[in-house]
């Protein structure tokens, strides 16, 4: 079963059963009633945390149980600006995507990447493979924690880590703006299904909006 536990600090948001998964009432949105649900044909979201105390774990945690080696993909077109390996965190990849409506520099962060296939300076296309799901502490730290997962963040700020602010990723999915308009009209449209990358779809470059950052089957 897919699940998404939405936390802001230590505050848990409302979770509502919905067919094949659990939907979440998104607290970080200015439109009441916004709810999201993860794709069923890809590794599930298992938690969400937005905390200034643990920035490396802010954002969405995508579970990898049964998905060891599954492809992590770029959430939108961009440029790789940072690749770093740490014994406990595995590979950390940062991609600069460009402009949002009201923020000048939007980036996505990918932590605990295993077997990365990109380097700094690479031009990246949406849906392009950047690595795979491994275990926390990939390679050097495999003995420490054995659960498979990786962390996905949307941030704005400087190109190098350590000077940025996390954003609510649920406000940046492709199609979310139209969904919010329909919610504001009072339409009963159900939860927002986080979109998978579709190679046959045309995606606008600005404002930047993202697709699910793992390969959908």
Residue 84 domain flag:
yes
User: How far, in Å, CA of 175 to CA of 171, rounded?
Assistant: 10
CATH of residue 47's domain is: 2.70.70.10
Residue 204 domain flag:
no
Query: Per the structure, how many domains does the chain have?
Result: 1
**By residue range, what is the domain housing residue 61?**
6-193
Residue 68 domain flag:
yes
Residue 26: phi and psi, rounded to 5, are: -80, 110
Residue 56 gets which letter from DSSP?
G
User: How far, in Å, CA of 205 to CA of 193, rounded?
Assistant: 21
Q: How does pLDDT run along the chain (217 residues), one tens digit per residue?
A: 233 333 322 233 333 333 333 344 444 445 556 778 888 887 766 655 554 444 445 688 887 666 667 899 999 999 999 999 887 778 889 999 987 777 668 999 998 888 889 999 999 999 999 999 876 543 334 344 446 778 899 988 755 556 678 888 888 999 999 999 988 888 878 888 999 999 999 998 888 999 999 999 8
162 in the Ramachandran plot: left (φ > 0), alpha (ψ -120 to 50) or beta? left
> Could you give the C-alpha distances from 191 to 128, 172, 187, in angstroms and in order?
27, 15, 11
Residue 25 domain flag:
yes
Instruction: State the alpha helices, DSSP H only, in 175-214.
Output: 176-184
Contact present, 4 and 40 (Cβ < 8 Å): no
pLDDT of residue 115: 81
């Amino acid at each position: 079963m897919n699940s998404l536990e939405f936390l802001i600090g230590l505050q848990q948001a409302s979770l509502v059963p919905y067919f094949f998964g659990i939907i979440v009432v998104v607290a970080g949105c200015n439109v009441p009633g916004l709810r999201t649900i993860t794709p069923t044909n890809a590794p599930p979201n298992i938690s969400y945390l937005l905390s200034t105390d643990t920035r490396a774990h802010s954002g969405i945690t995508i579970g990898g149980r049964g998905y060891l080696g599954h492809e992590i993909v770029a959430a939108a077109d961009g440029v790789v600006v940072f690749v770093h390996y740490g014994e406990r965190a595995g590979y950390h990849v940062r991609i600069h995507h460009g402009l949002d409506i009201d923020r000048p520099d939007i980036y996505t962060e990918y932590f605990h990447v295993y077997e990365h296939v990109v380097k700094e300076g690479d031009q990246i296309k949406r849906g392009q493979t950047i690595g795979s799901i491994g275990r926390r502490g990939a390679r050097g730290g495999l003995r420490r924690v054995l659960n498979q997962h990786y962390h996905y963040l949307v941030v704005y700020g400087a190109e190098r880590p350590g000077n940025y602010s996390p954003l609510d990723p649920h406000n940046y999915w492709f199609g979310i703006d139209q969904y919010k308009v329909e919610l504001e009209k009072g339409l009963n449209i159900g939860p927002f299904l986080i979109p998978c990358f579709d190679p046959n779809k045309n995606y606008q470059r600005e404002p930047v909006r993202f697709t699910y950052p793992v390969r959908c089957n």
